[in-house]
Structure 1
């Protein structure tokens, strides 16, 4: 009975993992960008770059000048100064003199029935001058001067409502950063791949665009006010479809964020991100959940079989199981490296196989804790 269960777990894991790696994730890993010629007869539509910032003086000091290096003729920048107690307000006043297209609104308090970031974003969107909104965070940097043009092109030129982009993290030394690089690509594989299969279910608030008119018509975050986080993925999860959403897979359309440098800070950040997942639609929970479930079954069954056949000196069966494990390992490395090149333009310094094994603990331990957490906060 024990051997049957091990084979059953391993077999189910192999089948589902093969579907995800080859069929679903393969859509991103071997993505070929369609050749599109921009219609020059379409006038360039105005874009508002929106950033909600709480005590982000140092990051804004770097970000704002970089934003005004963008190669796009019609855009402004709106900074929502959310209850900052540092020198953010003074910095914005100084920079608004230098950059006439820089605007700001200051929030002194947040109503009790809403969460801070959603209130900040809602206020910023309401007062935005342009209908096309491009969202990012204060600790993010555009990867090129074409960021605004490329991220908003599906909305301006193709009539899409949502444009979903990628936001990576700076590469630094250490185990934590290698894990962050791995987990960021894995997340991109999920939402890009399902999006390419016309089934989008989430986006990243560090690089996300949609129309103000749609936001206002949908009454924004009306059903999300009480949830900390989810201003990006849950909003997309509620309203994005295969017809109204486009994926922007282009290294020049990315943003790059400052990564956490301690495990404590990282785990607090991911706890907030994973907590929002409990509010996804049921079918989207299944999309995400089947991969780690099959991942766990694959390793539990595979390792169990290796021990069983190894101790029993049944080397033929041992070799079959080991061969399947090695084949999957080859596919994982190949797909992650290929996806990283497509999305980021280069292969990230990831120890893919070690991180793939670490994913067992990450999802089942941190995911369970985050799902039940009640002490989630933005800032």
Structure 2
């Protein structure tokens, strides 16, 4: 009976994992899309919007880089959110150099709202153009085609939302390998379901939507009390298979500066995972089924190896070990293919080790984040 139960739960884990890896994630890994609409002649105006709190050093690099974009009709809006560094002075100097640079300064945040959403809302309200393209102060576009390609679905396909990928700079550390892995896995969730016409999240470091829609739905009306979620929760509420496009093109990506210490990373991820508790129930299951089956696979797979090894049931032991090896090969293959499609590069080394460590990461940090009450932006 004990061996039967082990096989039963192990089998459920295998079945769901294969469905996710081959069918759902395979939508991204084996993607064959048409990017011709990026070069269509409709060059509607775009406002690139960045919220910045004490980001002097990052803005000094970002602003000139953004004005290298190969797109004729765009302006840049920097929301200077309660900065106490030299941001104001920098913006004044930069506006003399770049006529299409504009800024709005926030001196305080009302007590009933969260800082990032308040900053975003004010920036969008005064934005010159209807197409809003969001990124962060510590992000840089990966090519001079970023604006053109990220906005193409909205300009040329009448979409309301365009969801892109934002990665992190690579470092030769274990923490950075983990960041690369977790970022790629997250992208596989939201890009794959988006390609299956079931979008449910995005990252604010590379997200585009129409100002008119934002104002029509009264912005963050249902989200003011939640710290974070200005990107994924807003998308979770309003995206559909018809009004949303996934932009899967390395030239449409942005890249951020990664956290360098475990403490900084955990603070960031706690904020990100905390927003997940507010997802729609069906969307929670999109992530939950994968993580549950992942846990069933590893826990019962290891349990069976121990059980059959103790009882010297070598046929069962060999079968389980072979299945684990086959799944490991599948995971590595899917992540390699998906990384090339999304980023144009290889994923971090030792994917199989990082995949195993995900077992503890999600359930421990996810539980802590779900219960956290000290979530902050900046």
Shift of 1:44: 1.1
Q: Which residue of 1 aligns with 2:308?
A: 309
Aligned 8 A contact 2:162 2:207 in 1: yes
Q: Is the 8 A contact 1:250 1:342 kept in 2?
A: yes
Give the Å deviation of 1:3.
2.1
Between the aligned partners of 2:282 and 2:47, the Cα distance in structure 1 is: 33
Distance 1:13 1:298 in 2: 5
Aligned counterpart, 1:2: 2
Residue 372 of structure 1 is matched in structure 2 by 371
Show the counterpart of 1:354: 353
Match for residue 282 of structure 2? 283
Which secondary structure does the structure 1 equivalent of 2:179 belong to?
A: helix
Partner of 2:134: 135
In 1, Cα distance between equivalents of 2:128 and 2:73: 11
Distance across 1 between alignment mates of 2:318 and 2:150: 48
Provide the C-alpha distance between the structure 1 equivalents of 2:37 and 2:15, rounded to a whole number of angstroms.
40
> Cα deviation per residue 1:298-331 (whole Å; 9 max; x = unaligned)?
0111111111111222111111111111000000
Shift of 1:38: 5.5
What's 1:15 paired with?
15
Structure 1: distance between partners of 2:129 and 2:333: 42
2:248 is aligned to 249
> Aligned equivalents of 2:35 and 2:97: distance in 1?
38
Is 1:185 matched up with 2:184? yes
Question: Match of 1:103?
Answer: 102
Question: How far apart in 2 are the matches of 1:39 and 1:265?
Answer: 40
Matches within 5 A, 1:232-243: 232-243=231-242
SS in 1 for 2:226: coil
The residue number in structure 1 matching 2:297 is 298
TM-score (structure 2 length as normaliser): 0.99
Distance 2:322 2:350 in 1: 20
1:177: Cα distance to partner? 0.2
Task: Return the alpha-carbon distance in structure 1 between the equivalents of residues 374 and 350 of structure 2.
Answer: 32
Contact 2:335 2:347 in 1 (8 A): no
Aligned ranges for residues 45-56 of structure 1 at < 5 Å?
A: 45-56=44-55
| Alignment map for 1:164-203 (pairs within 5 Å) | 164-203=163-202
Q: How far 1:344 moved relative to its partner?
A: 0.3
**After superposition, where does 1:339-350 map in structure 2 within 5 Å?**
339-350=338-349
Q: Is the partner of 1:296 in helix, strand or coil?
A: helix
Which residue of 2 is the match for residue 152 of structure 1? 151
- Measure, in 1, the Cα distance between the counterparts of 2:25 and 2:39: 31
Instruction: Give me the whole-angstrom Cα distance separating, in 1, the residues matched to 2:88 and 2:37.
Output: 42
Give the whole-Å Cα distance in 2 for the aligned partners of 1:327 and 1:153: 40
CA distance in 1, matches of 2:348, 2:18: 24
Q: Give the whole-Å Cα distance in 2 for the aligned partners of 1:374 and 1:82.
A: 23
**Residue 68, structure 1, aligned to residue 67, structure 2:** yes
* SS in structure 1 at match of 2:36: coil
CA gap 1:130/1:35 in 2 versus in 1, 3 angstroms: closer
Shift of 1:37: 4.8
* Runs of 5+ unmatched residues, structure 1: none
Contact 2:38–2:148 (CA under 8 A) maintained in structure 1 = no
- Counterpart of 2:122? 123
TM-score, length-scaled by structure 1: 0.98
CA distance in 2 between counterparts of 1:38 and 1:128 reads 23
Q: How many positions carry a matched residue from both structures?
A: 378
Cα displacement (A) at 1:350? 3.1
Task: Return closer, same or farther for 1:332/1:214 CA change in 2, 3 Å cut-off.
Answer: same
Q: Which runs of 5+ in 2 are unaligned?
A: none
SS at match of 1:187: helix
Shift of the 267–38 alpha-carbon distance from structure 1 to 2, 3 Å rule, reads closer
Correspondence for 2:221: 222
How far does the alpha carbon of each residue in 1:33-66 deviate from its partner, in whole angstroms, 9 at most, with x for none?
22535675x4410000000000000000000000
Runs of 4+ in 1 over 3 A off after TM superposition: 37-40
User: 3-state SS of the aligned residue for 1:329?
Assistant: helix
Provide Cα deviations, 1:191-216, integer angstroms capped at 9, x if missing partner. Answer: 00000110000011000000000000
**Cα distance between partner residues in 2 of 1:348 and 1:124:** 35
Question: What residue in structure 1 maps to residue 93 of structure 2?
Answer: 94
Q: Quote how far apart the aligned CAs of 1:6 are.
A: 1.3
